[in-house]
């Protein structure tokens, strides 16, 4: 992959992460409306970038690998 393809991949990963994040938020909201405890806590949300490989260091490393 060249640098542009790697950048596009990171953007795609970010979009996927945001889709999951919104689904997590929706489930938490739904459970809250039912008087139930949240399915996801702060740690679950903070773990998302790492799981998708898009933390600052992961992204920099990935972009620099193409050289």
Enter the tokens of residue 45.
């949300």
Residue 50 has pLDDT above 90, yes or no: yes
CA distance 50 to 58: 8
Q: What is the mean pLDDT of residues 25-46?
A: 98
For residues 28 and 40, is the Cβ–Cβ distance under 8 A? yes
Full-model pTM: 0.89
Coil/strand/helix, residue 61 = helix
């Amino acid at each position: 992959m060249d640098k542009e393809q790697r950048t596009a991949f990171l953007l795609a990963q970010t979009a996927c992460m945001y889709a999951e994040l919104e689904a997590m938020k929706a489930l938490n909201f739904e459970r809250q409306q039912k008087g139930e405890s949240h399915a996801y806590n702060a740690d679950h949300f903070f773990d998302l970038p790492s799981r998708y490989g898009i933390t600052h260091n992961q992204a920099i490393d990935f972009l620099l690998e193409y050289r």
